[in-house]
Amino acid sequence: MQRNLTLQQLKNITLESQGLLRRSAFGKGKKAVLKALDHLGYLQIDTLSIVERAHHHTLWTRIPDYKTSYLDELVKEHQVFEYWFHAASYLPMKDFRFVLPRMLEVKQSESHYYNADPKMMQYIIDAIRAEGPKRARDFENETKKLGSWWNWKPAKIALERLFLQGDLMISERDGMQKTYDIAERVLPNDIDLTRPSSLEFAEYLVKTYLRAYGWTTVKQITHLKAGEAIRKNVNDVLRALIEEDVIEKVTIEGYPSVYVLRDLVDRRIAKIRAEINLLSPFDNAIIHRDRVQQFFNFDYRIECYTPKEKRQYGYFCLPVLFGNTFIGRVDCKAHRKNRQLELIHLHIEKQSIDFALWVEPFAEIIKKFATFNGCDSIKLTQVSPLNNSLALLLNNIFCQYKAISAPIVALSSSS
C-alpha cells in the first residue's frame, strides 16, 4: 500500500539530501569537498565565468569555507576525475568503472562528434607516453587547417576523442586549461576496472539519485539516456529495492508517484531556517528543470544560450532559495577588473512572502558571494516588480559592505 506524503515533506527531504538545509552539511575544508562529491554523485563543469564557475559555486553553497584550490588538489591526488555524467562533470574516483561503458561506446563509434585523425591520435598518445603530460597548446597545428568541432585544431579534436574513449585522462587543470596524461598513470593502482553490466549500471544510477535527492522518479533517473533497456533495468532495480524495504513508493495528490528512501520517510527533517541559498544555474538541486517546476513551482531556464531579444530574465540568473521556497532569481555579473559584483536585475516572484523576512539574509549571502567572487563592492541595478523600499534597504546594506562614491541603485520598472 502506498503511503501519502505532503509536498512540503518531499521538498524538505530533497533539500536536506542536497545539503541545503544546514550550513556545513558536509563538514569543512577539502575533506568536505570529497564528501559532498561522493554524496551528490557528480558536479557539472561550467566554462562560463560571468560569476565563479558552477562547479566551484555549487560546492561553495554547501561548504562555507570552500576554496577553489580544493577541487584542483583532489584531481591531482587522483581522488576525483573528469568525465561525463549527463554533461562534463567531476566524479568521485571510486565510481570510475561506471564510465567504462560510455568510453567503450565512443571507442567503437565511427560517427562520433569528435571525428579525429587516427594518425594524430597515435602521435599524441606516443608523445604523452614518452614525454609526460601535455596540454592542447603543446601540440602545434602543422596543417593550419581548422577542425570540424568549434573550429578546434586537429590535435585538440584528437585529445578530446582520446579522453572520451578513456585512453587519456585529465591529470590537472590550470583554470580551464586541461592537462592530459595516459589513463593508467592517472588511475590509482587499486581502482576497480570491471565493466558493469547493464543492470549494475542501472543500480548505480538509481542509488546515486536516491542518495543525492532522497527521492526520485524513473524519468529523472533516465534523463538523457535513450532506449527501453535502461528504463526496464531501472524499474527492475526499483522493484528490488522496494522488496528489500530500502525504498517506498509514495504519492501526493495531484503529483506523480515517487520513490523515497525508506529511512527518510519518517525522519524528522531539520527545521527550515529563514536563510537564503544563492544557487548556480547548474547546481545539482535544480538541474532537472521539470522536477523543480513540478514540485517547487519554479520555472527555471538558463538564458545565456538564448538570443538577447528573447530573454525574459537575463543572461546568467541565479535562483534564490529562501528556506524551501524559490522566491525569485537574480541576474549577476562579477566585474573583476573593478572588483564589483553587479546585481543586474533582481526578479521577485513570490511576492506573497514579505520581503522583511528575507531581505537581510539575502543581503548577507550576496555580500559573501561578492567576497567569493573577489569583489569588494556591490551594485544593484534593477528590481522587478519595482519596489523602492526594498531597493533602498538593500542599497543601505550594500553601502555598509563598502562605501563607494557613485549611487549603487538605478531603479527601473520591469519590461
Report CA 222 to chain centroid distance, whole Å: 18
Instruction: Supply the pLDDT for residue 253.
Output: 81
Amino acid of residue 368: K
Interior/surface letters 174-189, b for 16+ CB within 10 angstroms, e for the rest: eeeebbbbbbeebbee
pTM of structure: 0.91
CA–CA distance, 70 with 67 (Å, rounded to integer): 6
Instruction: Supply the pLDDT for residue 270.
Output: 65
What is the average per-residue pLDDT within 28-37? 97
Cβ partners under 8 Å of residue 311, min gap 6: 303
Return the higher-pLDDT residue of 273 and 57: 57
Residue 65 has pLDDT above 90, yes or no: yes
**For 100-109, 120-129, 397-406, which range has the lowest pLDDT when averaged over its residues?**
397-406
Residue 52 has pLDDT above 60, yes or no: yes
- Residue range 286-313, pLDDT digits in tens: 999 999 999 999 999 999 999 999 999 9
What is the average per-residue pLDDT within 347-351? 94
Report CA 138 to chain centroid distance, whole Å: 30
Amino acid of residue 19: G
**For 1-10, 312-321, 379-388, which range has the lowest pLDDT when averaged over its residues?**
1-10
Return the higher-pLDDT residue of 173 and 148: 173
Report CA 159 to chain centroid distance, whole Å: 24
Paired strand residues for 330: 318, 346
Confidence band of 136 (pLDDT split at 50, 70, 90): confident
Confidence band of 224 (pLDDT split at 50, 70, 90): confident
Paired strand residues for 258: 250
Confidence band of 155 (pLDDT split at 50, 70, 90): confident
Of the CA atoms within 13 Å of residue 235, those in its CB half-sphere come to 6
Complete edge-to-edge strand list for the sheet that includes strand 3-4: 3-4, 247-251, 258-261, 215-216
**For 58-72, 101-115, 121-135, 148-162, which range has the lowest pLDDT when averaged over its residues?**
148-162
Cβ partners under 8 Å of residue 340, min gap 6: 334, 375, 376, 377, 378, 379
Instruction: Supply the pLDDT for residue 140.
Output: 66
Instruction: Supply the pLDDT for residue 401.
Output: 82
Instruction: Supply the pLDDT for residue 111.
Output: 65
Measured CA to CA in angstroms, residue 8 lies from 11, 12, 258, 323, 324 at distances of: 5, 6, 14, 11, 8
**Selection from 282, 206, 217, 276 nearest residue 246 by Cα:** 206
Residue 406 has pLDDT above 70, yes or no: no
- Distinct helix (H) and strand (E) counts, the chain: 15, 16
CA torsion angle 315 330 379 358 (round to 10) = 180
Structural contact between residues 401 and 370, judged by C-beta atoms closer than 8 angstroms: yes
Strand stretches in 107-212, DSSP E:
134-135, 168-174, 177-182
**For 99-103, 262-266, 283-287, which range has the lowest pLDDT when averaged over its residues?**
262-266
What is the share, in percent, of the chain residues with pLDDT greater than 70? 91
What is the share, in percent, of the chain residues with pLDDT greater than 90? 73
**For 83-87, 152-156, 345-349, 387-391, which range has the lowest pLDDT when averaged over its residues?**
152-156
CA–CA distance, 87 with 202 (Å, rounded to integer): 18
Cis status, amide bond into 385, omega within 30 of 0: yes
- Locate 291 and state its grid cell: 522536477
- Residue range 272-282, pLDDT digits in tens: 888 999 999 99
Confidence band of 147 (pLDDT split at 50, 70, 90): very low
What is the average per-residue pLDDT within 337-364? 94
Mean pLDDT over each residue of the chain, to the nearest integer = 90
CB atoms within 10 A of CB 376: 15
Report CA 63 to chain centroid distance, whole Å: 14
Instruction: Supply the pLDDT for residue 385.
Output: 93
In angstroms, how far apart are the furthest CA atoms of the chain?
68
Instruction: Supply the pLDDT for residue 358.
Output: 95
Instruction: Supply the pLDDT for residue 146.
Output: 47
Instruction: Supply the pLDDT for residue 256.
Output: 83
Residue 409 has pLDDT above 70, yes or no: no
Residue 114 has pLDDT above 80, yes or no: no
